[in-house]
Amino acid sequence: MLESPWRAVITGGLLAVILVSGYLLSRAGKPYGALLFNVHKLIALGAVVFLVLTLLKLNRVEALGATAFAAALVAGALFLILIVTGGIISAAKAAPGFVSLLHRIAPYFAVIAAAATLFLLRGRP
Ligand code: HEM
């Protein structure tokens, strides 16, 4: 099991790659570059899988507290929204405005919720 600082460093690194590749994608516009798009999409999925596995392991060692559990649920819901809206934006010719807006705003709340979750679980082996 990764020590607490490494969980935060890895999550922060993955989120940084996702955010930077996202900004580059929206700046360049459609059609999206395959490399950038795949980096954005796959690292996003990788980050979600990493967080879910980390939380499952932590929960097995000692049940998550109610606050950490709530923060994890919020983060999970936001990541789900990002995956769905990201899929719609990339599949649709022109995605509805609210879908693009959601994909623009949700990342900041997802970063905060993920950081809060890991912070609440800091110091756990
Ligand atoms: C952890 C999940 C994700 C995060 C945190 C995230 C974050 C971001 C951010 C910050 C942007 C830039 C938005 C802006 O202009 O301000 C962006 C753009 C974009 N993302 Fe994501 N993303 C995630 C998942 C995905 C997935 C799974 C897909 C595709 C299946 C995707 C597709 C896109 C596309 C196509 C753009 C460019 C939108 C445009 O043209 O304006 N994203 N993303």
Mutational pocket test of ligand 1: of 11, 74, 79, 82, the residue with most ligand atoms within 8 Å of the beta carbon:
82
Residue in 30, 32, 24, 4 with CA at minimum distance from that of residue 118: 4
pLDDT at res. 2: 77
> What is the per-residue pLDDT across 90-106, written as a single tens digit (0 to 9) for each?
998 999 999 999 999 99
> What is the per-residue pLDDT across 49-86, written as a single tens digit (0 to 9) for each?
999 999 999 999 999 999 999 999 999 999 999 999 99
Q: What is the pTM of this model?
A: 0.94
Q: Which atom of ligand 1 is nearest to the CA of 110?
A: 5
64 Cα to the center of ligand 1, angstroms: 29
Q: Give the separation between CA 71 and CA 92, rounded to whole angstroms.
A: 31
19 Cα to the center of ligand 1, angstroms: 7
Mutational pocket test of ligand 1: of 21, 24, 40, 89, the residue with most ligand atoms within 8 Å of the beta carbon:
40
> What is the per-residue pLDDT across 25-44, written as a single tens digit (0 to 9) for each?
999 999 999 999 999 999 99
